[in-house]
């Protein structure tokens, strides 16, 4: 059994991108622990969880009912209710790291925290398994290695791509303002800029498939070295399943 750390902001993370990995990892026999900015239980983006403010075609941006149920199960978990604070985490105590995404304003402290960057750096220095999805990849892109470069400098990676980010923002701008625009610079553009080869950011297919518990192989991920990355909620079943396998292999063949 691996000990996995999931780092979350205090609010506004995507419920599917956190809940599905938690469920898959738990079902695989791993233990999942949590860390938030101040050590209090996190609260996901309520618009995405409940569909608040999402009408018509915008309802497609809300969490699927089965994934919302998983989020509520996770929120009742004892480890979720008693998280560590980012600054008090001892990353060396954990075998794997999960970095969920989200887009709403409450994500910013998580994506700009030196404490979170230090946690990420520790896992990369140990070559320990890491999974990121959507905006979560920004924490890795912004964290620096000992040489002053991004942790992702020589990696091939994915995250929320420009097509996905732009269409979500344009669809919701009238009803929700900038709720779906975390930063003026897109995830794809910011991450590509810190890579040795900007083409090492892989946007994936334009029309993605949505994975589920019955079809966990649907979706797009990129595996490189110790990192598995994905783009959006539709990819997270595949991400979580592959990450559980990576953790199991890491336990079988420790460095």
Count of positions (residues) in the chain: 255
Mean pLDDT of the region 2-22: 98
Q: Report yes or no on whether pTM surpasses 0.75.
A: yes
Domain count, the chain: 1
Indicate whether 154 pLDDT > 80. yes
Q: What is the mean pLDDT of the chain?
A: 94
pLDDT at 157: 98
The Cα angle at residue 186 between residues 56 and 175, in degrees rounded to 5: 25
* Domain harbouring 86, CATH code: 3.40.50.880
Positive or negative, the Cα torsion across 172, 231, 239, 135?
A: negative
Indicate whether 254 pLDDT > 70. no
Q: Of 149, 136, 91, 133, nearest to 115 (Cα)?
A: 91
Q: What is the rounded distance in angstroms from the CA atom of residue 98 to the CA atom of residue 186?
A: 21
Out of 21-25, 55-59, 138-142, 177-181, pick the least confident: 55-59
Q: What is the rounded distance in angstroms from the CA atom of residue 181 to the CA atom of residue 224?
A: 28
pLDDT at 54: 78
pLDDT at 15: 98
Q: Residue 217 is encoded by which pair of tokens?
A: 């192989």
Confidence of residue 170 (pLDDT cuts 50, 70, 90): confident
Indicate whether 251 pLDDT > 80. no
CB 182 within 8 A of CB 103: yes
Confidence of residue 7 (pLDDT cuts 50, 70, 90): very high
Mean pLDDT of the region 34-60: 89
pLDDT digits (tens, 9 = 90+) for 66-94: 999 999 999 999 999 999 999 999 999 99
Q: What is the rounded distance in angstroms from the CA atom of residue 193 to the CA atom of residue 150?
A: 10
pLDDT at 89: 97
Percentage with pLDDT > 70 across the chain: 99
Out of 11-25, 69-83, 180-194, 241-255, pick the least confident: 241-255
Helix %, strand %, coil % for the chain, to 5?
45, 15, 40
Indicate whether 13 pLDDT > 80. yes
Indicate whether 255 pLDDT > 70. no
pLDDT digits (tens, 9 = 90+) for 196-230: 999 999 999 988 789 999 999 999 999 999 999 99
Indicate whether 252 pLDDT > 80. no
Indicate whether 124 pLDDT > 70. yes
Indicate whether 178 pLDDT > 70. yes
pLDDT at 147: 96
Q: Which residues form the domain of 56?
A: 3-252
CB 34 within 8 A of CB 143: no
């Amino acid at each position: 059994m691996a000990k996995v750390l999931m780092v979350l902001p205090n609010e506004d993370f995507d419920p599917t991108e956190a809940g599905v990995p938690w469920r898959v990892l738990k079902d695989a026999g791993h233990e999942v622990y949590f860390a938030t900015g101040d050590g209090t239980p996190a609260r996901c983006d309520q618009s995405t969880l409940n569909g608040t403010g999402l009408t018509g075609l915008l309802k497609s941006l809300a969490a699927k009912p089965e994934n919302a149920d998983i989020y509520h199960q996770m929120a009742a978990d004892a480890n979720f209710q008693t998280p560590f604070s980012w600054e008090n985490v001892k990353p060396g105590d954990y075998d794997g790291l999960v970095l969920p995404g989200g887009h709403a304003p409450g994500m910013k402290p998580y994506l700009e925290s030196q404490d979170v960057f230090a946690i990420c750096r520790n896992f990369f220095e140990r070559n320990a398994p890491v999974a990121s999805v959507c905006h979560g990849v920004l924490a890795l892109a912004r964290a620096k290695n000992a040489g002053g470069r991004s942790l992702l400098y020589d990696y091939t990676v994915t995250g929320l791509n420009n097509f996905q980010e732009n269409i979500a923002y344009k669809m919701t701008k009238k009803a929700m303002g900038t709720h779906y625009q975390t930063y003026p610079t897109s995830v794809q553009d910011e991450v590509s800029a810190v890579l040795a080869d900007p083409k090492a950011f892989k946007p994936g297919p334009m029309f993605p498939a949505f994975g589920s518990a019955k079809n966990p192989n649907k979706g797009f991920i990129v595996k490189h070295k110790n990192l598995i990355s994905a783009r959006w909620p539709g990819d997270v079943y595949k991400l979580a399943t592959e990450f559980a396998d990576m953790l199991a292999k890491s336990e079988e063949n420790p460095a």
